[in-house]
Amino acid sequence: MGIVILLPLFLLMYFMMIRPQQKAKLQHAEMLRNLSVGDQVVTAGGIFGNVVQVEDDVIWLEVAPDTELKIARGAITRKLPPVAGDVADYEGPDNSADYTEPDADSGTTPSPVEKNNDD
């Protein structure tokens, strides 16, 4: 009688805990196998970078312009989806309306424009 109660309990535990963990492990291994140059990834240490070279067990990541890190393939935790307007393309905010042009004769730097909020 006791085994009749324990067997469904073990089956429930398998399908609720063990099987999802195995599935996630297989998906992670597949992601690591399919890494290619140009993929954006995150490491276990929280470092974001672009894959620039793939070797057997080593991935080279570009984390800043002209800065590459040699990372163990297993240290990659996830692959990021491609994003339009990548951070490398960001040129900063357009602050041209906030500053005045310097006088060519004075050689001074521009100063902030006073805004009148009484409108």
Residue 115 pLDDT greater than 60, yes or no? no
**Tokens 């597949």 — which residue?**
30
Q: What count of other Cβ atoms lies within 10 Å of the Cβ of residue 108?
A: 8
Q: Can you give the three-state secondary structure of 66-82, one letter per residue?
A: CEEEEEEHHHEEEEECC
The pLDDT of 109-115, averaged and rounded, is 57
**Tokens 């393939």 — which residue?**
73
Residue 97's pLDDT is what? 56
Residue 52's pLDDT is what? 96
Cα separation, 78 vs 89, whole angstroms: 22
Q: What are phi and psi of 17, to 5 degrees?
A: -120, -55
Share of the chain above pLDDT 90, in %: 51
Which of the four pLDDT bands, split at 50, 70 and 90, describes residue 82?
confident
Q: Of 3.40.50, 1.10.1760, 2.30.30, 3.90.380, which CATH number belongs to 2-25+34-82?
A: 2.30.30
Q: Which among 2-6, 44-48, 82-86, 87-91 has the top mean pLDDT?
A: 44-48
